Amino acid sequence: MKQSTFMMLKPDAVKRGLVDPILSIFKENGYEIIRQKEVMVCRELILKHYEEVIQKVNQPYFQQAILDTFEGTKVIALEIAKEGEHVIEEVRTLVGATDPVKADPKSIRGRYIDDSLEVAMREKRTLRNLIHASDSLENAKLEMKLWFETF
């Protein structure tokens, strides 16, 4: 049985020319791209996407930092799939820990590290960690609907 999940290549991945190398890593690991969409990010979309994260981080600067990073920039929204029941967990392992400093050097974030959570927080900006990957099947479905059907 194939299972799919949502993934977004963030502005730093696009700006650094890492879209093709990152997609190649997924393809080499048996993932199929079901849908791929280049999106110019608007305020409403990115604030809806990061609504829970903004509440969780609960820092006065964070919402504006998200807007500064994403609004008016290009991202790549993806639905990827693979045979198996643990695709979401496997994708997140391949992507690596949220903080690239803590990511396995073989993971995508570990391989292409150029930032750390400590520095990003000190500079009151978002973390440049290349990829967003859904953390649950439920969130993957919601995020695919948001990115592929709503906008």
E-state strands within the chain: 2-9, 32-40, 74-83, 131-133
Q: Which domain holds residue 48?
A: 2-150
Binned at pLDDT 50, 70 and 90, residue 45 comes out as: very high
Rounded to an integer, what distance in angstroms lies between the CA atom of residue 92 and that of residue 88? Answer: 6
pLDDT score of 35 more than 90: yes
Cα–Cα–Cα angle for 68, 58, 113, rounded to 5 degrees: 55
Which tokens go with 100? Answer: 């690239």
Residue 17: CATH number of its domain: 3.30.70.141
**Mean predicted confidence (pLDDT) in 131-151:** 96
pLDDT score of 47 more than 90: yes
Rounded to an integer, what distance in angstroms lies between the CA atom of residue 9 and that of residue 108? Answer: 11
**Mean predicted confidence (pLDDT) in 38-64:** 96
Q: In what order do the strands lie in the sheet with 131-133?
A: 32-40, 74-83, 2-9, 131-133
Binned at pLDDT 50, 70 and 90, residue 48 comes out as: very high
How large a percentage of the chain has pLDDT more than 90?
A: 99
How many folded domains does the chain comprise? Answer: 1
The confidence score (pLDDT) of residue 98 equals 97
What confidence tens digit (pLDDT) does each residue in 81-133 have?
999 999 999 999 999 999 999 999 999 999 999 999 999 999 999 999 999 99
**Mean predicted confidence (pLDDT) in 13-21:** 98
The confidence score (pLDDT) of residue 119 equals 98
- Annotated catalytic residues are 132
The confidence score (pLDDT) of residue 151 equals 78
Which tokens go with 5? Answer: 């999940």
The confidence score (pLDDT) of residue 37 equals 98
**Mean predicted confidence (pLDDT) in 15-36:** 98
